[in-house]
Amino acid sequence: MKRFILFSFLIVLSINLMSQTEVAVNDTVFVNLGDIVTINPLLNDYDTEGGELSISSVQVPEYFELISFNDSIINFKAPDYMTTEGIKVRYELDSEHFLPVYGYINIVFSEIGEFLSVNQIRAGVFPMNIQFFDAYTGNSPGSVYYYPENATSTTIFNMGLWIGGKNSEENLHFAGERYRQDGASFWPGPLSQGNELTCDSVVAGEWLRTWKVTREEVNNHITDYADPDYVMPDVILNWPAHGDPTKNQAEFIAPFVDVDQDLEYHPELGDYPFIKGDESIFFVYNDQLEHTEPESLPLGLEIHCMAWGLDHDEESPYSSTIFYSYKIFNRSDEDYYDTYLGLFADIDLGYAADDYVGCNVEQGYFYGYNGTEIDGNGEPESFGENPPSQAICILGGPFMNEDDLDNPIGHCDEGINGAGFEDGEIDNERFGMCNFFYFSNGGSQYLIDPENADEYYNLLQGDWKDGSQMCYGGNGHSSAGGDSLFPTKFMFPGDSDPCHWGTGGLNPQPSESWTEASAGNNPGDRRGMSSMGPFTFEAGSVEYLDIALVTAPGDQVKSSTELLQDFVGQIKTDYLVNPESFGNQHVGIEDGIEKESLLEVYPNPINGNLVHFVLPQANKVSYKIYNTAGQMVQEAALEAQENQTIQVGNLNSGWYILEVQADNKIYRSKLIK
């Protein structure tokens, strides 16, 4: 650990001269997690009568370690993991001229996280649950989801996951956060698995970081790793491919391409990170430590997340979109029933107090848009004229419970906005947005933020926090214009639910679409949450969540909300072609090679040891097979012929991605065995 000797302080917060007893000058010092800090707080304290000062006692937060102190020097160790409380060290001053008084040292942690900045979005990515708002160090200026990338205006204040389910004894287990003002549910790092799940403060401190890698770095590594003059980027050298076996952590953590197929990450031998898009940021966190926002039982989750973006022309919807891909592991020995996964976001379009929210049922997103033609009143963060709109879109959520069917598309059910429907595969259907509600900063009693685990769970299920059903119309509550005869799943859907899935197929108001404007709401500071479920989250299983954060400009021929619908529509269409490989086609492919979308293979699912496919005529053909963790498990060259056969007898049951390169074209298909 680094040892810092600090003889002066970076920020003097206040000097009180009201009386001769107020002689302690509060100081601020910046530290890193785990630092051992030696400080002399008396350098800017004084006795108005000229006497000598001395430190008689020191009080540090319980998660700090007080090493020692004397008359003038304090030694303490900062925690190994981030905390959410106000962080101060208090010391008591003695002098011959006055009664003891207290001074305070404000502790500020150095910045964590990195910026994803590959296109028109510049977003701060943090190595825990809450994104875009630094709820961890106290350094945050507010949101860091900038649009355009060099502007000071932002479109999202923060975002995070909620998840809750009940065990076989009907006990609720829940993890979720809004702003970490009252505590936390999540901590950095993977879990140690054994007789019990653990994650101590040392592990949390080690994993309080992100790993940012670009497509260019990966391609350079593929080409140059054996060159003696090649300088390997630190992020590739120290890619967190494996957990620590001495701590019983998972063998595989961050996905990688295993070039030598030895199931170990050796970048010096050509292995490289398996990323999505043109720029990716990877991090890991869990929910196993004490839950204090809200107080609740943990689920034993370990979450692997990759935030990523694409470098596209400004006219493309991908140029103002970033993606988050989550793998959510249930490391516990409990099955959770009636589980719901929620996506919470506080959408602030520049000036926060003049926004509306709504949802699009068919495309599976909720969104924020300005409630007035001009955003704000000239504030530095406001957009002014032509403000954008912002969508939080669920591309693919957790798997629905198995029913031995390839469920059809086009019915008034989850197939409206889910993934994997009517694609020739059984039981690969994934939820899209199943519920959407909003609440307000400073709203009515039923609209304000939840306070305990039961209220959070009620909201996840699509009910109000008091357990009452959401109703169509007004503000969605029976006491505020909602029609109790028409319970609904979605607030402010406009005309995006033509089959009335949200109201059970009933048409409550055929002459009017339900929006904030039709409800007569005044614009304000809005938050929203879309949820997916219910599903059974089995012990030892993994669920997936892919989301797109899409921004549409307000200065085009179409309105920003109309353009937002176009943008999301194109992205979701691309995603549904092959959800498991979406984004992967930009990894390790040299410029000049064309990317084809699909390859038809048979039989699929595989019922033997062979898989067949037909290719256009080519001079050079090869293939690679990747497993769900992103590791390459098989590769070989093939004869240059149209009818191809691959031996897959050594593959375990599961699904894989087959990638075939024929001359300068890449073809892909999902394999099920």
User: Please, which pLDDT band fits residue 140 given cuts at 50, 70 and 90?
Assistant: low
Contacts of residues 461-470 at CB distance under 8 Å and 24 or more positions apart, as own/partner, are 461/340, 461/435, 461/531, 461/533, 461/534, 462/434, 462/435, 462/437, 462/489, 462/531, 464/437, 470/437
Q: Which of 195-209, 514-528, 632-646 has the highest mean pLDDT?
A: 514-528
Task: Please give the CATH number for the structural domain made up of 3-109.
Answer: 2.60.40
Predicted local distance difference test score (pLDDT) of residue 197: 92
Predicted local distance difference test score (pLDDT) of residue 9: 32
Q: What is the pTM of this model?
A: 0.81
Intrachain domains 3-109 and 595-672 with the same fold: yes
Residues of the chain with pLDDT > 90, as a percent, come to: 60
Predicted local distance difference test score (pLDDT) of residue 16: 35
Q: How does pLDDT run across 93-116, given as a tens digit for each residue?
A: 887 766 678 888 888 777 788 999
Q: How does pLDDT run across 469-499, given as a tens digit for each residue?
A: 999 999 998 888 888 889 999 999 999 999 9
User: Please, which pLDDT band fits residue 404 given cuts at 50, 70 and 90?
Assistant: very high
Residue 536 C-beta-side C-alpha neighbours within 13 Å: 8
User: Please, which pLDDT band fits residue 296 given cuts at 50, 70 and 90?
Assistant: very high
Query: 444 or 34: whose pLDDT is higher?
Result: 34
User: Please, which pLDDT band fits residue 630 given cuts at 50, 70 and 90?
Assistant: low
Q: How does pLDDT run across 52-61, given as a tens digit for each residue?
A: 889 999 999 8
Q: Are 275 and 287 in contact (CB under 8 A)?
A: no
Domain boundaries of the chain, sorted by first residue: 3-109, 191-581, 595-672
Q: Are 443 and 524 in contact (CB under 8 A)?
A: yes
In CATH terms, is domain 595-672 a member of 3.30.450.20?
Answer: no
Q: How does pLDDT run across 542-575, given as a tens digit for each residue?
A: 999 999 999 999 999 999 999 999 999 999 988 9
The DSSP H or E segment spanning 567 is helix 560-577
The DSSP H or E segment spanning 164 is strand 158-166
User: Please, which pLDDT band fits residue 608 given cuts at 50, 70 and 90?
Assistant: confident
Q: How does pLDDT run across 329-365, given as a tens digit for each residue?
A: 999 999 999 999 999 999 999 999 999 999 999 999 9
